[in-house]
Amino acid sequence: MIWVIGANGMLGSELCRQLKNNTIPFVASDKEVDITNSASIETFIREKESSSYLTSSREAHHNSKISWIVNCAGTSSISFAEANTLEAEKLNILGPQNLCHIARYNNIKLIHISSDYVFDGTSTIPYTEESLKNPLTTYGKTKSLGEDEIIKGMTQYFILRTSLLYGYDHSNYIYKVADLIKNNQTILTNPSIIINPTSAQDLAEIIITLIEKTDRNNISFNAKDIIPFGIYNFTDNGQCSMQELTEKIYSLLKKYKHLPGQSQLKIIENITNNNLQPAYTSLSNEKISKELKLKIPSWEKSLEKFIKSKSFTI
Ligand SMILES: NC(=O)c1ccc[n+]([C@@H]2O[C@H](COP(=O)([O-])OP(=O)(O)OC[C@H]3O[C@@H](n4cnc5c(N)ncnc54)[C@H](OP(=O)(O)O)[C@@H]3O)[C@@H](O)[C@H]2O)c1
């Protein structure tokens, strides 16, 4: 059984939807099980496990034991983290530390989501899992320290570093741009900031694939395919500047008729960086695509799928 934490957030909602569609057993929680409070996490596990113990056969109880935690909780707002350092530290460092202790004690494997902001953005080539971390912001520093807690505290974990996520369930850059264009407003974009836009749908699929390929209880488990635990980058393939992304969003919104006829893209190039966004955070996907033997979709293809979908409304 999989426990999705932060289940009402952008990635968490997408993951729950996919687990449900694939009839994979899971339980979900959000703020009501506060990851910064270890007693609250322990109580949740005890309650879930004791209720299945009372109501299920021995075999069903075994299958309903929590064997994976996927931690989708965490603050991803850079400005919130700058203004609320203590809160960001609790959520991004203490939270993973608590989950790690409880996971280890209960023999649960952990998937934790981290960020491209653990890097300083001075590279000119995509960061690999071995690249040296040097976060610049409170958000980046807390995400980096959160990773360190897991690495030193347990062995059965996947840390997935990702970049500029978008999904259907939350405000994100794609919706923000769409709103600004629709309301005829000007968009400030920085052509020198390079990122990998990533669909939450693609990341959720990868999480499920990792679990399926690692879970020895899975009937299709094949030891030859075992994926080593550790840190992996996962983003959609290819990189672009914030300006290229904005232009692509506009062209797709027009293509799929989400905009009134007279809508125009009004961009102002803004090359001043407030130092909250590293200049270059492209991540290399080589390790994960090699381990999972997967062809990862390009960011353009995934963005088109997102904007074309009936679930996309502005
Ligand atoms: N979004 C991005 O562009 C991006 C990029 C790289 C990495 N990431 C990482 O990916 C992960 C998922 O991001 P996301 O954008 O899906 O985040 P999100 O939409 O903000 O979702 C996080 C969820 O966790 C909940 N939560 C907050 N505090 C909690 C607590 N103490 N205990 C339990 N749940 C709590 C939040 O509730 P409230 O909303 O009520 O606070 C929210 O429902 C995060 O770790 C983030 O750092 C995100």
Residue 298: per-residue pLDDT = 98
Which ligand 1 atom sits closest to the C-alpha of 90? Answer: 31
What domains are defined for the chain?
2-170+196-238+281-297 (3.40.50.720)
For a mutational test of ligand 1's pocket, the pick from 76, 159, 207, i.e. the residue with the most ligand atoms closer than 8 A to its C-beta, is: 76
Which ligand 1 atom sits closest to the C-alpha of 162? Answer: 6
Rounded to the nearest angstrom, the distance between the alpha carbon of 143 and the centre of ligand 1 is: 12
Alpha helices, DSSP H, located in the chain: 10-21, 38-55, 58-63, 78-83, 85-89, 95-105, 138-153, 173-182, 200-214, 242-255, 286-292, 299-308
Q: What are the structure tokens assigned to 21, written together? A: 């569609």
Residue 275: per-residue pLDDT = 72
Residue spans of the chain under pLDDT 50:
none
Phi, psi at 195, each rounded to 5°: -140, 175
Which ligand 1 atom sits closest to the C-alpha of 12? Answer: 16
Residue 217: per-residue pLDDT = 57
Rounded to the nearest angstrom, the distance between the alpha carbon of 113 and the centre of ligand 1 is: 9
The pTM score is 0.95
User: Checking phi first, is residue 309 left (phi over 0); if not, alpha (psi -120 to 50) or beta?
Assistant: beta
Rounded to the nearest angstrom, the distance between the alpha carbon of 184 and the centre of ligand 1 is: 30
Which ligand 1 atom sits closest to the C-alpha of 37? Answer: 31
- Give the CA count within 13 Å in the CB-facing half-sphere of 139: 20
Residue 5: per-residue pLDDT = 98
CA angle 37, 41, 46 (to 5 degrees): 145
User: Which residue has the CA at smallest separation from atom 37 of ligand 1?
Assistant: 31
Rounded to the nearest angstrom, the distance between the alpha carbon of 73 and the centre of ligand 1 is: 4
Beta strand pairing call for 240-241 and 194-195: antiparallel
Report the alpha-carbon distance of residue 102 to residue 80 in Å, rounded: 28
Task: Give CA separation, 110 vs 92, 102, 273, in Å.
Answer: 15, 10, 35
Residue 238: in which H helix or E strand, if any?
none
Residue 60: per-residue pLDDT = 56
Residue 218: per-residue pLDDT = 58
Residue 216: per-residue pLDDT = 64
For a mutational test of ligand 1's pocket, the pick from 4, 5, 10, 201, i.e. the residue with the most ligand atoms closer than 8 A to its C-beta, is: 10
Residue 170: per-residue pLDDT = 80
- Partners of residue 258 on adjacent β-strands: none
Q: Which residues line ligand 1 (CB under 6 A)?
A: 5-6, 8-12, 30-31, 34-36, 72-74, 76, 91, 113, 115, 143, 162-165, 170
Which ligand 1 atom sits closest to the C-alpha of 35? Answer: 32
| Cα-only R_g, the chain | 20
Q: Return the sign of the alpha-carbon dihedral for residues 90, 67, 162, 245.
A: negative
Rounded to the nearest angstrom, the distance between the alpha carbon of 6 and the centre of ligand 1 is: 6
Q: What are the structure tokens assigned to 46, written together? A: 């005890």
